[in-house]
Amino acid sequence: MTLRLVATLLACCLAIPAFAPPVSAQPSPAPQGVGWKTGGEAAAIERRIDGLLKQMTLDEKVGQLHLSGRGDGFDIEQIKAGRMGAVMNFVVPAEVLTVQKAARATRLKIPLIIGLDAVHGFSTYFPLPLGQAATWNPALIEEAAYWTGREASAAGINWTFAPMVDISRDPRWGRVLEGAGEDAYLGSVVAAARTRGYQRGGVATSVKHFVGYGAAEAGRDYNSTWIPTSQLFDLYLPPFKASFEAGSMTAMAAFNALNGVPATAHKGMLTDLLRGKWGFKGFVTSDFGSITELRLHGIAKDDAEAARKALLAGIDMDMMGNVYHKHLAGEVTAGRVPMKALDEAVRRVLRVKFHLGLFERADVDPAAAPALMQTQAARDVALKAAQDGAMLLKNANETLPIGATVKSVAVIGAMAVPEDERVWTDPAGLGRRVVQALPEALKQRLPADVSVAYEPAFTKACGTEFADKDAAVRAAAASDLVVAMLGEDCEFMGEGASRTKLDLPGVQQELLEALVATGKPVVLVLATGRPLVLTWADAHVAAILQTFHGGTEGRAAIADILTGKVNPSGRVPMSFPRSVGQIPVYYDQLPTGRPQKIRQRYESIYIDEANEPLYPFGHGLSYSRFTYANARVSKPSMPLDGTVEVSVDVTNAGARDGQEVVQLYIRQPVASRSRPVRELKAFDKVLLRAGETRSVRLRLDAAKLGAHDENGRYKVDPGQIEIYLGGSSQTSVMTQVLLTTS
Ligand code: BGC
């Protein structure tokens, strides 16, 4: 399901009277964090599962693997008959209560696991996950997930289809907005933080999409992926591993075929690796209807065979496919699926339900739920995340922050003022419009004598057609500074929104050029779901502030940065290409035998384009200026299982306090395999007062400096390691450490 659909679902459903305000404002109970229990508790759970399995009929067992969703065709009778173990897309507490009560009233009283794509918020919206990754602030990212989990759990939901941890190097793919960008290390840190946060907030995570979905060929959604084993293990699998190590209780399989085998029937990944090597004890759900899609992938002649292949490969739950429900009992009876295999899948589902505490957990109290929605604490986190994730990509002549000489500002673009359907309804029923419009937010922050005009220019946020272009250009021409808020919205981003052109959609570029032609300085504020090609803008506008839709507090955060109340500190989590033809463009490429030296023929270059992205991974400007010096290691060498402390002196040479993301990259120039020109291995976001110098210390474990070979074997090679420290993947000071065999 697309994000848009979920957003609409939430916006509409949370407004219905069933979610009325509480009679009294009782303090809300903190949610119970969830996670794996250990020792005696875990053993007792296995005994309870044994007991249940002995009592369950074949239909009841299959029922536990059947995930159905709110909407047309949903049949509560199936719950009452013990033939549905999981539901999704219920968001109204009273409705959640109804379905859960129906499950509890069954013969075996097995509660439902209740799932939702609570991807970047439930009632309070945080920046899109890619925008959260841009904060490079794991503690903050964890808090955003915590509040999402906490709000969802307060509505009775106990399972989220998140985090999405698919690495992607292809911004043509519309779903890059749901991930953490291009890098395995940043992606792993974010995956772990989000997993911890959600589960502390009370919902089990379903880390997705296992595996390789982000590598869809040519960036076309659902397309096949071809990933060499070494790259699978070094790049695509680490964020999943990090999420499981952080306790993720479930996983979701991907839609795509991985190296010719559909992920939904990939025994090598689902069973041999996940359950075997990694020891994962939770369950795996299919993606939406992906079991029946095995027919279309061409590996099953009918749904019965699809069901059999998926189950035997390791898919425990059928999301919205109705295929297990219809065919699994028959496959077992016919002896094509061993009862033992079915029991194992049921065991994994029941295990998660027990570890989640669902059998004991009190049901949702619809009257109490609203008090936990959009609390000030959640909104504070949303604001901080939107502030920390906004990336200043260009700032010529210190156009920003808006200076004292600016007496009039023209805000242009319908995206500056949220459209009605984009205003997240306040489920507490307090009538509070939590999304601030940008003109209003600027007005509040600028001195009283500065005028702020607003012209939408377009009929709707995504700028597909003009409402009144001339009025927008006139307003720009009459102002000292133009703030154009443009980007991608509506149908241009998210699932199923793959693009071959990464320009501003619709007629937005035409408007931008007209605004620039007025001769007034133009600040381009972007809200997109992916890195766009900003080459023209970079050459012509005065400043660029990039956000990946900031959520409930997004425009307030933008106003904070434009006016200098907040010093920008977001850093690029995914390289911005100069042109679509550069894709895939990413920082940790392997060296070639023909490196770019003087840009002549027979070097690995384009004859019509630079090699480098427009904005590299890790890049982001600040109103401060940071300098690096004195990179050093605590010892010159370490064994292959050793640790070294790396330090660097970072100075805020600017006039304002500011946050810097200190990034540590390595390179092993000589090893048994060719190794990337740079690899992120550690980072820290630090606040430095104006003029302050701080010695920032980062730890490097030798065991994490290796790579996988084409058989998936991991190896750390002895030899010299170059260590680069700086504020992006391009700028740095250097030190070294020697990896030794003894
Ligand atoms: C998406 C999943 C999502 C599911 C349920 C699918 O189309 O790929 O990420 O969790 O729908 O909404």
Nearest residue to 122 (alpha-carbon basis) of 143, 98, 153, 99: 153
The atom of ligand 1 lying closest to the CA of 208 is 9
Average pLDDT, the chain: 93
The atom of ligand 1 lying closest to the CA of 164 is 9
Look at residue 272 in the predicted model and tell me its pLDDT.
98
pLDDT band at 8 (very low <50, low <70, confident <90, very high): very low
Task: Report which protein residue has its CA nearest ligand 1's atom 3.
Answer: 1
Both structure tokens of 708: 């996988």
Look at residue 72 in the predicted model and tell me its pLDDT.
85
pLDDT tens track for 477-520: 999 999 999 999 878 999 999 999 999 999 999 999 999 999 99
Query: Does residue 288 line the site of ligand 1, with CB under 6 A?
Result: yes
Look at residue 419 in the predicted model and tell me its pLDDT.
63
Query: Does residue 287 line the site of ligand 1, with CB under 6 A?
Result: yes
Q: What is the dihedral of CA 111, 116, 119, 121, to 10 degrees?
A: -80
Task: Report which protein residue has its CA nearest ligand 1's atom 12.
Answer: 1
Query: Does residue 1 line the site of ligand 1, with CB under 6 A?
Result: yes
pLDDT at 416 over 50: yes
Query: Does residue 233 line the site of ligand 1, with CB under 6 A?
Result: no
Look at residue 11 in the predicted model and tell me its pLDDT.
36
Segment among 256-270, 367-381, 636-650 with least mean pLDDT: 367-381
Both structure tokens of 340: 């033992």
Is 492:529 a contact under the CB 8 Å cutoff? Answer: yes
Residue 530: φ, ψ to 5°? -160, 165
pLDDT at 218 over 60: yes
The atom of ligand 1 lying closest to the CA of 5 is 12
pLDDT tens track for 375-403: 999 999 999 999 999 999 999 999 999 99
Distance 209 CA to ligand 1 centre (A): 9
Distance (Å, whole) CA 484 – CA 411: 6
Query: Does residue 495 line the site of ligand 1, with CB under 6 A?
Result: yes
Cα Rg for the chain, rounded, in angstroms? 26
Catalytic residues: 287
Nearest residue to 531 (alpha-carbon basis) of 192, 126, 179: 179
The atom of ligand 1 lying closest to the CA of 209 is 9
Residue count of the chain = 742
Distance (Å, whole) CA 186 – CA 661: 12
Look at residue 15 in the predicted model and tell me its pLDDT.
30
Residue 697: φ, ψ to 5°? -115, 135
Both structure tokens of 608: 């019509």
Distance 252 CA to ligand 1 centre (A): 9
The atom of ligand 1 lying closest to the CA of 206 is 10
Q: What is the DSSP letter of 706?
A: -
Task: Report which protein residue has its CA nearest ligand 1's atom 5.
Answer: 1
- Mean pLDDT to the nearest integer, 133-147: 98
Task: Report which protein residue has its CA nearest ligand 1's atom 4.
Answer: 1
Task: Report which protein residue has its CA nearest ligand 1's atom 10.
Answer: 161
pLDDT at 643 over 80: yes
Angle at 441 between CA 438 and CA 442, to 5 degrees: 85
The pTM of this model reads 0.95
Is 44:355 a contact under the CB 8 Å cutoff? Answer: no
pLDDT tens track for 313-368: 999 999 999 999 999 999 999 999 999 999 999 999 999 999 999 999 999 999 99
Distance 2 CA to ligand 1 centre (A): 7
Angle between helices 238-245 and 184-200 in degrees, nearest 10: 30
Distance (Å, whole) CA 396 – CA 403: 13
Distance 284 CA to ligand 1 centre (A): 14
Distance 299 CA to ligand 1 centre (A): 22
Distance 20 CA to ligand 1 centre (A): 29
Angle at 420 between CA 418 and CA 426, to 5 degrees: 95
Look at residue 418 in the predicted model and tell me its pLDDT.
80
Query: Does residue 208 line the site of ligand 1, with CB under 6 A?
Result: yes
Is 696:705 a contact under the CB 8 Å cutoff? Answer: no
pLDDT band at 523 (very low <50, low <70, confident <90, very high): very high
Is 174:529 a contact under the CB 8 Å cutoff? Answer: yes
pLDDT tens track for 700-719: 999 999 999 999 999 999 99
- Mean pLDDT to the nearest integer, 87-91: 93
- Mean pLDDT to the nearest integer, 535-545: 98
